[in-house]
Amino acid sequence: MNLFLLYSKACGGFFRQLFLAAILFVTLPGGLSSAATAPNVILFLGDSITAGYGLELSQAYPALIQKKLDAKGWPFKVVNAGQSGDTSAGALNRLDWLLRNRVAVLVLELGGNDGLRGLPVETTRKNIQQIIDRTRAKYPAAKIVIAGIKVPPNMGREYGGKFEAIYPELARTNKLPLIPFVLEGVGGVRELNLPDGIHPTAKGHSIVAATVWKTLEPVLRSLAK
C-alpha cells in the first residue's frame, strides 16, 4: 500500500469527505454555483457510526438512505461527512468547510466520542447547538434532524442520564425532528456489531438506516413535493 493510502486511512474520514465533496462539485453542471440544477444535498455529519467504521462506504447507513431515495426517484444527494473518532468540537471545527455545499437537510449524529471520553455534558450540548445555529444562519430553509446517542453503563448512571437528555432537549428547544436513539435495536446486540462491540456490522447498518428513515422520510417527503 502506498504512503498516500496509509495516510488517508490514518486520517479517518477526512480524505473521503474531501473526495465526496469534490465529486459533488464536478458532477453538477456549473459547479456548486448552479443551484437550479443541483440536487438537494442531505449532509450526514457524524462520527464513526455515520462513517461506517470497518465497512465499505456503500454499507454505511447514509449510503443505504441514498438507495431508498433513488428507489423513490427523489432528487436528493447524500453526502457522508462522518469521520471516525470525531467529537462534537471536531465536527464544529470542520462545519464551515462542509457548508460550502448548499445543504437542504442536515442529519446530526454526534456526541458519542464526547461521552466515551467523559467530556462535560454542557460542552457537548453547546457544540451541537452551535452547529445548528451556524447551519441555520447560512441556510435558513435547511431542515435539521438530530440523532440521539447513549453512553455505556460504565460511564455512570448520573452522567449517562444527563448525556442522553442532551438530544431531546436540543430537539425541543430548536423544534427539530428527533431520532431518539440512532442505534436502536443494534446497540448491545453482539451479532449486529463488529468484534469491538461498538460499531455496527453491515446488517446492523441496515437496521440503523431503517431507524433513521422513519424520522427522515417525512422531512424529505415535504421537500420532494
Does the annotation count 196 as an active-site position?
yes
Q: Which of 86, 88, 114, 199 is catalytic?
A: 199
Does the annotation count 48 as an active-site position?
yes
Cβ(176)–Cβ(144) below 8 Å: yes
Does the annotation count 199 as an active-site position?
yes
Map grid coordinates 452547529 to a residue.
Answer: 131
Q: Which of 47, 48, 84, 205 is catalytic?
A: 48
Which residues are annotated as catalytic?
48, 196, 199
